[in-house]
Amino acid sequence: MAGQREFYWRRLHSLLGVVPIGIFLVQHLVINHFAVYGEESFNKAAGFMGSLPFVILLEIFIIYLPILYHAILGVYIAFTAKNNVSKYSFFRNWMFKLQRWTGLITLVFIAWHVWETRVQIGLGNAEADYSLMEGILSSPFMFWFYLIGVVAAVFHFANGLWSFFVTWGITQSPKSQRVMTYVAIIVFFAVSYLGVRTLIQFAYGV
């Protein structure tokens, strides 16, 4: 029974990593990318998201609680899981190792990002607008912290897509898993571009 419960917990962990967390990550980076088109474009896009009906409930049940569950079980997996050299290739085992490392980096990054852009501004009655992110990323240290955090989060999502398709039995053959590897690589570079390009805009105005 304990093994069966863990099986379902891990299935839920895998599902939440894609829906809704992965979808939110992509959507969040797309909205942030409006900064490239100017301060007004970003503020309008961010303001639209902030004005959605029941936004607090949406954030709690679609963002924060799924991330909390995914993070808690993810930390457990990161410190207990072992590489499987008999079943998977050298490359896949390295991807598994990087998945654990980037998960831990992403957890630290998200915790700080939420504190800096949600909790602190709420306490100070400030606004999460273009000038806020511009101020944060004007520090070289914070720029590199955000760069590493964003790239780690995108890698964790893109590589997690591969695991999701295998875990849920969608890609079972070696050929389909190879195709999914290429898809994950494309997703990683495409979504990373959105995030990194936005950070450069906030930090350097270019």
Distance from the Cα of residue 177 to its chain's centroid: 22
In this prediction the pTM is: 0.94
Helix axes 39-50, 130-137, angle to 10 degrees: 110
For the chain, the C-alpha Rg in angstroms (whole number) is: 18
CA-to-CA distance for 29 and 11, rounded, in angstroms?
26
pLDDT in tens, 89-122: 889 999 999 999 999 999 999 999 999 998 888 7
Average pLDDT of the chain?
Answer: 93
Written as one string, the DSSP assignment of 76-101 is HHHHH----TTTS-HHHHHHHHHHHH
Q: Which of 53, 46, 59 is nearest to 198 (CA)?
A: 46
Judged against a pLDDT cut of 60, whether residue 36 lies above it is answered with yes
Q: With contact defined as beta carbons under 8 Å apart, do 130 and 43 qualify?
A: yes
